[in-house]
């Protein structure tokens, strides 16, 4: 097949296949959720989900195999199944119609690789409340809660970006996690919907943040100035924001957040203020979506996390489709940030080589005969 030929030239991919081999085994037979039922849940038809077939009745969301804690996992605390259980690992991720397939795969990958899947609690940020039953059907034993994020909360603060996807209100829900989640939740891992985890998420959860509110892989070799406009850098009042800091780029699709420190420092409002500056009419200070306000508030004040936890950029650049290779080093998380998404490219039979590493976690596809 064509993709086999393309794979043969990638030495780094061979290494990754060895590392990820436990995750590439065939999963047990799974109960199917017919796409006709799924589509009725939110009353629409998604062309991304139906791209693999002209007949949507042939496509299903399968039920994931059951996942159970290993014997050495810490038993639940006295709070039982409460979100306030101190033994839980908390993960926040968005659910929307366009990226639902990616979100389901991301959850599946987390459960497949953690030793204590019953100790993971998912916080789903949704703008379509009717998507919650899809998750419950695909993962019957999953511990989760859905939170409605009102698009009007940020609609007036969003400015146009290089990609329309970056302008969607739900893309900004991460800014409000400290307000939305219960105050007993002191820490949370935020994950984008276009990634898969290929390591035990508990390792990321245990990352030491020190005095910082945000932990993320930093990329200090990147040209930091390109994330802001000439108007920003020419205005000393704006540019002085980074005085005394060593700002580095970090991708906001994978972050560990200390919500106690976040709430205490009022970081949500600080982010909003920069979005207001962008919309003030004096001229744009950045071109991307939700990333620059995060950089303005946190760059230079981030707890660094190993790069293995965000092998990002696999979706290619923001303007034209392109295939990317992995960064050097070990891999714990593969992230298809950029314009290309693996499910779209796989369905169109035009995948990039690394897209095949996402496929084992996809629960959507042709129904078993």
pLDDT the model gives residue 327: 85
- Please report how the helices 291-298 and 267-278 are oriented relative to each other, as an axis angle in degrees rounded to 10: 120
Quote the mean pLDDT of the chain: 83
Structure tokens at 289: 């979506």
Task: Identify the residue whose tokens are 């994950």.
Answer: 191
Is the pLDDT reported for residue 24 higher than 70? no
pLDDT the model gives residue 321: 61
Q: pLDDT per residue over 182-232, tens digit each? A: 999 999 999 999 999 999 999 999 999 999 999 999 999 989 999 999 999
Which residues make Cβ contacts (< 8 Å) with residue 24, sequence separation at least 6? 17, 357, 360
What is the DSSP track for 97-165?
TTTHHHHHHHHHHHHHH-S-GGGEEEEEEES-GGGHHHHHHH-TT-EEEEEE--GGGTGGG----SSGG
Is the pLDDT reported for residue 369 higher than 90? no
List phi, psi (to 5°) of 364: -115, 130
For residue 29, the tally of other CB atoms under 10 A from its CB is 10
Residue 120, exposed/middle/buried by CB under 10 A (0-12, 13-18, 19+)?
buried
* First-to-last C-alpha distance (Å) of the chain: 24
Q: pLDDT per residue over 89-112, tens digit each? A: 999 999 999 999 999 999 999 999
Question: Is the Cβ–Cβ distance between 177 and 256 less than 8 Å?
Answer: no
3-state secondary structure of 21: helix
> Percent of the chain having pLDDT more than 70?
78
pLDDT band per the 50, 70, 90 thresholds, residue 15:
very low
pLDDT the model gives residue 310: 96
pLDDT the model gives residue 242: 96
What is the DSSP track for 218-284?
EETTS-GGGGS-HHHHH-HHHHGGGTT----EE-TTEEEEEHHHHHHHTHHHHHHHHHHHHTSSS--
Q: Which of 12, 193, 174 shows the shortest CA–CA distance to 110?
A: 193
Task: Identify the residue whose tokens are 């950089």.
Answer: 295
pLDDT the model gives residue 239: 95
| Helix, strand, coil percentages for the chain (3-state, nearest 5) | 40, 15, 45
């Amino acid at each position: 097949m064509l993709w086999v030929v393309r794979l043969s030239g990638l030495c780094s991919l061979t290494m990754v296949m060895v590392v990820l081999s436990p995750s590439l085994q065939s999963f047990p037979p799974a109960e199917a959720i017919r796409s006709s039922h799924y589509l009725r849940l939110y009353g629409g038809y998604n062309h991304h989900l139906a791209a693999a077939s002209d007949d949507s009745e042939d496509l299903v969301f399968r039920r994931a195999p059951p996942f159970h804690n290993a014997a050495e996992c810490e038993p639940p605390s006295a709070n039982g199944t409460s979100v306030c259980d101190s033994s839980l690992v908390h993960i926040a991720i968005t659910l929307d119609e366009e990226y639902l397939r990616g979100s389901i795969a991301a959850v599946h990958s987390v459960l497949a690789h953690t030793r204590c899947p019953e100790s993971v609690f998912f916080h789903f940020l949704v703008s379509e409340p009717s998507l919650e039953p899809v998750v419950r059907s695909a993962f019957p034993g999953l511990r989760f809660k859905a939170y409605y994020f009102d698009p009007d909360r940020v609609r007036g603060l969003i400015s146009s970006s290089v990609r329309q996807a970056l302008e969607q209100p739900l893309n900004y829900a991460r800014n409000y996690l400290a307000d939305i989640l219960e105050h007993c939740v002191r820490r949370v891992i935020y994950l984008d919907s276009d990634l898969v985890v290929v390591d035990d998420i508990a390792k990321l959860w245990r990352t030491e943040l020190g005095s910082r509110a945000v932990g993320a892989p930093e990329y200090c070799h990147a040209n930091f100035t390109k994330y802001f406009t000439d108007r920003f850098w020419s205005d000393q009042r704006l540019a002085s924001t980074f005085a005394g800091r060593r700002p580095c780029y970090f991708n906001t699709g994978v972050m560990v957040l200390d919500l106690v420190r976040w709430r205490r420092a009022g970081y949500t409002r600080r982010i909003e203020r920069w979005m207001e500056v962008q919309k003030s009419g004096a001229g744009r200070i950045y071109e991307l979506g939700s990333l620059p306000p995060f950089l303005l508030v946190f760059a230079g004040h981030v707890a660094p996390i190993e790069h293995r936890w965000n092998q990002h950029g696999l979706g290619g650049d923001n303007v034209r489709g392109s295939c990317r290779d992995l960064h050097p080093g070990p891999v714990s998380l593969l992230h298809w940030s950029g314009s290309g998404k693996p499910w779209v490219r796989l369905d169109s039979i035009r995948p990039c080589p690394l897209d095949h590493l996402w496929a084992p976690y996809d629960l959507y596809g042709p129904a078993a005969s």
